[in-house]
Amino acid sequence: QVQLQESGPGLVKPSETLSLTCSVSGASISSHSWAWIRQPPGKGLEWIGNISDSGDTNYSPSLKSRVTISVDTPKNQFSLRLTSVTAADTAVYYCARLFRDIYCDNSSCTKGYWFDPWGQGTLVTVS
């Protein structure tokens, strides 16, 4: 059974860097792709980005200039760094395993990302 657990500071000052770690058990970090998603208070979910099993990253355009996702294979963990934070970055941050779907026929491809399982989330307040 794959389980994920987020950890990191719950309070970050404006303009500083938010750093979170996701510890994975029940699966090898190098065999799967992984993602970060967040939910600001009272708002909906927002995808932050992914890292694949080959180390390729893909970030949300709105956060791309400030985000880095990386993997620590020996520790079976992956991490999120978000620089120059503001109050708008206050959110519950979730880590999750990522699955990709793609089906192509002669005319087009149908795609999707989905996340399973998720960690319980950790609240990070920027203040």
Partner 1 sequence: QSVLTQPPSASGTPGQRVTISCSGSSSNIGSNYVYWYRLLPGTAPKVLMYRNNQRPSGVPARFSGSKSGTSASLAISGLRPEDEGDYYCAAWDESLSDQVFGGGTKLTVL
* 95 closest CA partner among 55, 39, 15, 54: 39
Beta-bridge partner residues of 79: 21, 70
- Taken as a whole, the chain contains a residue count of 127
Q: Which of 21, 39, 68, 76 binds partner 1 (CB under 8 A)?
A: 39
Q: Does 114 bind partner 1 (CB under 8 A)?
A: yes
67-106: which residues touch partner 1 (CB under 8 A)? 94, 96, 99, 101
Helix, strand, coil percentages (3-state) for the chain, rounded to 5, are 5, 55, 40
Q: Does 115 bind partner 1 (CB under 8 A)?
A: yes
Beta-strand pair 57-59/46-51? antiparallel
- Minimum distance, C-beta of residue 79 to partner 1, in the bound complex (Å): 19
Q: Select the span of 26-34, 40-48, 65-73, 82-90 touching partner 1 (CB under 8 A).
A: 40-48
Q: Does 46 bind partner 1 (CB under 8 A)?
A: yes
* 98 closest CA partner among 51, 30, 62, 55: 51
Task: List contacts with partner 1 (CB under 8 A).
Answer: 4, 39, 43-47, 60-62, 94, 96, 99, 101, 108, 110-121
